[in-house]
Chains A and B, each alone.
Chain A
Amino acid sequence: MTDQVYARKSRKGLFAIIAVIVAALVAAYFLFAGGDDSDASEGDGPNAGQTISIVGFAVPEAANKAIAAEFNKTDEGKGVTFKTSYGASGDQSRAVEGGLKADYVHLSVATDVDRLVKAGLVDENYDKGENKGIVSSSVVVLGVRDGNPKNIQSWDDLIKPGVGIVTANPASSGAARWNALGAWTHITENGGTEAEATTFVDALFKNVVSLTNSGRDATQSFLDGNGDVLIAYENEAILAAQNDQGFDYVIPETTFKIENAGAILKDATPAAQDWLDFVLSDEGQKQFALKGFRPIRDDVDYGGTVEGAPDPKKPFPAIKHLVTLDDIGGWAAVKDKLFGDGKDGAPVGIVTQSIEKSGKASQ
């Protein structure tokens, strides 16, 4: 009898606890569910009431937010709201391929947008416009310790003995492939042969002390004392400085231009096209510049000052030899050749091999 009473009591208690948890979850849902929506501005533009879902890689989140605020002030942007999702470029691309709702994607590498073209979600001519499918750009830079104690000035300094390098892993992070392209083209675009470039990349990965899975992890690892050099992007270095996590950096004489791709999806809400046009406009590019990206056109007026740059008055110094994807024949020419992972018995890419060799040598 007493056992039964006890059981009934404890069951009542259990129900009470479950009820409280459910209530808390429901409350939390209503409190936070709308958290991603930016405020809809008043008024009724041609696109009022539409919601644009942005799916992007992590870095431009701050810039996109600023652009969205400006967009809402225009006629086309009046009353438009946003839903956003940011994460690793490859993951975001696969998520959209797998059904994540998106009207506009902004991804680190064009190959991640190509995946969506292949899946029939993005028009295959997305990169035929004036901007060639590129919405934001930056350059590869070399982060160094305060005062540059190892006197790092160029890519060649990275392969000197005793220099520890931190970089995201080009094998597991698509975005980190810009870093490897910087190292590779530093040789091939300066008159070197592919054999020489392979030797250089081999030597570079031998000096790598930490091979993280994302650019953000690499920065964290570097800030926590790993290595002497961080292969990074200029815009991330500037954004990090804006968030009080800055580090000195050097722009090598020859370096690689990072071009992040953006596209609207085939079944996007009509406002998405206006949004893309705005992102590409001088006003949109200005917002990118203020967060550290180099505008995709040289004539964009961003006011001349970018906080967080080593010299805020001269944030984007001219680069003697800036190599672009076009110079080397686009992603198609390098994707498998440099980064292939040997799937289905295909030859393993040169950079993938360098990474493997670096580990074997130290065994």
Chain B
Amino acid sequence: MATVAPDLRRSPTRPLSTLGVRSGIGLGITLLWFSLLVLIPLSAIIVTTTEGGWANFWRTVTTDQTAHAIRLTVTAALVVTLINAVAGTVIAWVLVRDRFPGKALLELIIDIPFALPTIVAGLVLLSLYGNDSPLGLHLANSSASVYLAFLFVTLPFAVRMVQPVLEELDLDVEEAAASLGASRYVTFRRVILPSLAPAIAAGAALSFARAIGEYGSLVLLSGNLPFKSEVASVRILSAIENDNPAGAASIATLLLLVSLTVIVVLDIVQRKVASRG
């Protein structure tokens, strides 16, 4: 923020703080609420990790089985996030720009992965893609099942973030670009994409964060086979069952760090793309 160096940056139009009494109370309540719900639990995880010590943290996350589970989780979450960024934008585009029968129904169905309890989603996925699959797709107990479950639960994030921005986008600007001789590609690349970038990035960040901690929707279908389809959250569960909270917190802390990194990277990419407009 510009308020970091008040002596240099302070100007009559930008006071150090805009907080009056009322907004001060507002900020206080916000921070209290945020602390209770987010900051304190997060600190607790990190404190539990440090109780085990650095050696324990390192041993936990580098154990072959755990390391593989973390790699699978992060890789699948990244791939799914990329797919969502593209597919979600396309779906949002279709929903906003096109008219077709059944559109309202499609709008409704998009949100179902949000609304469905994850364990129910797991049951549905198992009966559709398990060994008794009516579709002839046998994905049970393979790493592909992890990707599938992630895709299922995270799809709405990208669509729902991009859609409202796309709705607000002025068609006039696109027409102006076209009349100035821009090809459809250039229009998309230079006009539409920069406006959508923040929304796509936000959707991608949510998708990634959701996927990396996903548990309920995949446990039934994935079979949790070590080195094959076992994800990080299952390793956390194992550590807890073995009365090893420091081990569980170690894996959780690593996942938190990865999420944070991905969210920061997404933000940087988003700013770059948006500034090219």
Contact = CB atoms under 8 A, between A and B. Distances in A.
Interface of A: 90, 94, 115, 169, 171-174, 208-213, 217, 220-221, 224-226, 339-345, 355-356, 358-360, 362-363
Contact of B224 (A90, A211, A225, A345): A211
A356 B63 CA distance: 10
A344 B247 CA distance: 9
B56 interface: yes
Interface string B9-39: 0000000000000000000000000000000
A359 B225 contact: yes
Interface stretch (B152-160, B171-179, B193-201, B226-234): B226-234
Nearest to A356: B65
B134 to A, nearest CB: 11
Given A169-B238, A339-B242, A358 B224 contact: no
5 contacts: A169-B238, A211-B223, A341-B242, A341-B247, A345-B59
Interface of B: 56, 59, 63-65, 68, 123, 126-127, 130-133, 140-141, 219-220, 223-228, 230, 234, 237-244, 246-247
A360 B239 CA distance: 20
B131 A226 contact: yes
B241 A90 contact: yes
B224 A169 contact: yes
Contacts of A225: 130-133, 140
Given A169-B238, A221-B126, A208 B247 contact: no
Contact of B126 (A172, A208, A220, A358): A220
Given A209-B141, A210-B140, A213-B237, A115 B226 contact: no
A115 B234 CA distance: 22
B130 A226 contact: yes
B228 to A, nearest CB: 6
A362 B223 CA distance: 14
B238 A172 contact: yes
A208 B241 contact: no
Contacts of B131: 224-226
Given A341-B242, A341-B244, A224 B227 contact: no
A362 B230 CA distance: 13
B241 A171 contact: yes
B241 A173 contact: yes
Contacts of B242: 171, 339-341, 343
Contacts of A213: 219, 224, 234, 237
A133 B241 CA distance: 22
A360 B227 CA distance: 6
B154 to A, nearest CB: 22
A116 to B, nearest CB: 13
Contacts of A343: 242-244, 246-247
Closest 7 CB pairs of A and B: A359-B227, A359-B226, A225-B131, A225-B132, A210-B223, A172-B238, A341-B242
A305 B129 CA distance: 39
Contacts of B68: 359
A115 B220 CA distance: 29
Contact of A212 (B63, B223, B226, B240): B223
Contacts of A174: 241
B111 to A, nearest CB: 18
A322 B268 CA distance: 64
Contacts of A363: 227-228
A359 B64 CA distance: 10
A31 B56 CA distance: 48
Contacts of A90: 240-241
B223 A221 contact: yes
Contacts of A359: 65, 68, 225-228, 230
A356 B241 contact: no
A309 to B, nearest CB: 26
A212 B224 contact: yes
A356 B69 CA distance: 12
Most interface-central of A173, A212, A340, A359 (chain B CB within 10 A)? A359
Contacts of A169: 224, 238
